[in-house]
Amino acid sequence: MLLTKHEGETFRNQTVYISGQAFIRCQFTACTLVLRETVYHLEGCTFERCNWHVDWVLMWGSPESVREIKALVGMIEQAQQQQTQVEQSMQAGSVPSTPFATGEASAGT
């Protein structure tokens, strides 16, 4: 499947369909990210206050399905942890060198 490539783009307050797309070093702020069962690619993207709508069938006995969803959940958790660190740093009066979470995940690529 050929993916539509987005590189270095910023998305704010939008609904973005991740499926069928490749996002490289893109920034997502306050977006709703929609992911369905198809190929996608996320590399070096940042996420701040995004909601995820995930529509995915996990097939019984399919380690690939479980691995892909775990990678996605891991990326979301990393983004939330880094955002919390940023907020704590800002409350303490220091400015962090990396202002947003950076995640990297791919599925089916």
The whole-model pTM stands at 0.69
Angle (CA) 102 68 66, round 5°: 135
Helix or strand or coil: residue 29?
strand
| List of E strands, the chain | 4-7, 10-12, 15-17, 21-24, 27-29, 32-36, 40-48, 51-55, 101-107
Q: What is the CA radius of gyration of the chain?
A: 15
pLDDT band with cut points at 50, 70 and 90 for residue 94: low
Chain segment 61-89, per-residue pLDDT in tens: 888 888 888 888 888 888 888 778 777 77
Domain that residue 76 falls in: 4-92+99-107
- Give yes or no for a contact between 40 and 3, defined as CB atoms under 8 angstroms apart: yes
Domain tally, the chain: 1
